[in-house]
Structure 1
Amino acid sequence: MPRNAVEVHDNLVLEPRDVKFDWSDLPLHWVPDEPFVTHTINVLHLLLPEGERWFIKVFRDALPMIRDEQLREEVLGFIGQESIHAEAHQEVLEHLLAQGLDPRPYVRQIAWLFQRVLGEKPGLSARRRRENVIERVAFVAAIEHFTAFLGHWALNSPALDRAKADPTMVDLLRWHGAEEVEHRSVAFDLMVHLDPGYLRRVRGMTVSGPLLVHLWVRGVRFLLAADPTLQGSIRPSWKLAWDGARRGLLPDPIASLRSGLRYLRPAYHPTQEGSSAQALGYLATSPAARAAAH
């Protein structure tokens, strides 16, 4: 069984870091000569602003249902961190628009998904509203499992440095990734606090895992088609994805699948993934995080 939330998090204090990034010198293809790799990672910027605003709404809806004070503090810290994440990625979208790549058609679809399809359902009874909140928390917990997986990958991706990827973007990915690893247990522990049943976790992953893959594939397809410098010359394919992963420039799809399967183990807990020490170590050296601390 998962460990008790209080036992796991007795020393966890989540601190929102008000970081700022300067995108004025960011090239459209910020991994040089790698438009497919660049845009595959750029899907994060399409998904995360609306997605993380949705996380915040779900967690605020869940706050009155929390009976453990330590967990409540962690949820509030999570909300603070996710709010800053959303704004940081929003700034990248605005930079893409200024460079002639209009992300707004895809972002509107993502907003509709999170607000209308996965949003709060009006007119529910108190019991059904509670059930709806817990179900959405389970979706967040499953998605947060993958954001922590991606965060761990970003912290361990020296190939991006070897490829001379833009250092500001790499810092954004690693700062955000480190905070995802840092708070990787909060959504899971909130889900277990509200419903310790195993089937809730399975339903959350069954919905969220395939949905995330679908949205990512569509996002890559959209960005490659919308890139004004490519004129439709590159079409997304799993072959390109495998090649990027083989060279260490993209996460390994098989490792991602295995990570999702680990989530379904009855004894699983997010503390079994990633390293808090590594995450906090990067946050102590991140240029943006250090600048925010002064």
Structure 2
Amino acid sequence: MTDGYRIAPRRVSFDWRETPLHWIPDEPTATHVINVLHLLLPAGERWFVKVFKEALPLVRDEELLKDVKGFMGQEATHSVQHSYVLDHLAHQGLDTTAYTRHVEYLFDVLLGERPPFGLRVSDRAWLRFRLSVVAATEQFTAVLGDWVLRADALDRAEPDPVMLDLLRWHGAEEVEHRSVAFDMFQHCGGEEPARYARRLLGMAITAPVLTYMWAAGASYLIRHDPRLAGRLRYTLRHHKRAIEKGLLPTWRELGAAIPRYLRRSYHPSQEGSLSRAVDYLAVSPAARGAGGGPKGAAAS
């Protein structure tokens, strides 16, 4: 729970007219590895909202219900804003439709309202599984959100300020609601020890699928980038170089999020800093322009 801190969406907007294709100057690999967010999140965060909407009748805690509705509003806004970036990429000659079709198939069919391939799984068990996947995914978005808020090297690289604000606004809201999907799964995921087994299964599936999709997405973007014209490929060597410059999170930062999540005593309130997130939202051009937003005392 958020202990009196109220989660709510912000009506942000971004002007992409001046944002270059390589929004981190001279860093196409770092640019496109981060750009994979725009490939995954429009469909992914719409799916989060659909799954939570299915589960709302199971929620018996009024405070959790408020948090969940705030989470759904924020995720819906994230989906819309990242879809606008896809339009911007298309206007610059980088059409992502061939890749995003696979993403939509994953969320709308393989993880849709009914189990795929005629799997004999009850409606309740299938919903609990999908809630476990949302919770596992939100573990990584919280880690990434905290990383981007701390990534001073991004500022030194002089990126496009609008894109950096999008990433940090989104990252701050991920930290802000970092516990909600986990709390929702704990509330609706059944009794122990089966619930803990479902948590393990959710991460066991989510971590490798996200890793594959991120590598495939970065490879797609670099391969189809009209400015690169086939002169560059996505490689682990180039990725490692971007990490060394501080432009991407380290493998250790991402990998360590998994064993933390698998501890029985774990709770996502241990991830990142809510006060850092709220401090950024107080100065974010997009968030300030949106006005309103959550109220309540922030805690680290």
Task: Pick the TM interval, shorter chain.
Answer: over 0.9
Using the TM superposition, give the Cα deviation of residue 130 of structure 1 relative to its aligned residue in structure 2, in angstroms: 1.3
Segments of 4+ in structure 1 off by > 2 A? none
Distance in 2, Cα, partners of 1:9 & 1:284: 19
Distance in 2, Cα, partners of 1:238 & 1:57: 35
Equivalent pair of 2:13/2:81 in contact (CA under 8 Å): yes
Distance in 2, Cα, partners of 1:269 & 1:84: 25
2:31 is the counterpart of 1:38: yes
Identify which of 150, 155, 161 aligns with 2:149.
155
Letter in 1 for 2:241: D
Using the TM superposition, give the Cα deviation of residue 234 of structure 1 relative to its aligned residue in structure 2, in angstroms: 1.1
Equivalent pair of 2:42/2:79 in contact (CA under 8 Å): yes
TM-score, normalised to structure 2, is: 0.93
Distance in 2, Cα, partners of 1:292 & 1:69: 27
1:87-98 to structure 2, matched below 5 A, reads: 87-98=80-91
Distance in 2, Cα, partners of 1:241 & 1:256: 14
Q: Secondary structure at the match of 1:72?
A: helix
Identify which of 135, 158, 165 aligns with 1:164.
158
**Could you list the per-position Cα deviations for residues 3-55 of structure 1 after superposition, in whole angstroms to 9, with x for gaps in the alignment?**
xxxxx423131110000000000000000001111000000000000000000
In structure 2, stretches of 5+ residues that fail to align are: 293-300
The number of residue pairs the alignment matches comes to 286
1:1-294 to structure 2, matched below 5 A, reads: 8-121=1-114, 128-195=122-189, 196=192, 197-293=195-291
TM-score, normalised to structure 1, is: 0.94
Give me the CA root mean square deviation: 1.6
Distance in 2, Cα, partners of 1:250 & 1:122: 35
Using the TM superposition, give the Cα deviation of residue 235 of structure 1 relative to its aligned residue in structure 2, in angstroms: 1.1
Distance in 1, Cα, partners of 2:108 & 2:78: 18
Distance in 1, Cα, partners of 2:231 & 2:115: 45
- The answer for the alignment partner of 2:297 in structure 1 is none
Identity fraction in percent: 51
Letter in 1 for 2:178: R
Equivalent pair of 1:12/1:74 in contact (CA under 8 Å): no
Distance in 2, Cα, partners of 1:169 & 1:178: 14
**Could you list the per-position Cα deviations for residues 47-90 of structure 1 after superposition, in whole angstroms to 9, with x for gaps in the alignment?**
00000000000000000111111111111100000010001100
Most deviating of 194-203 and 248-257: 194-203
Distance in 2, Cα, partners of 1:97 & 1:59: 31
Distance in 2, Cα, partners of 1:9 & 1:166: 33
Distance in 2, Cα, partners of 1:54 & 1:18: 20
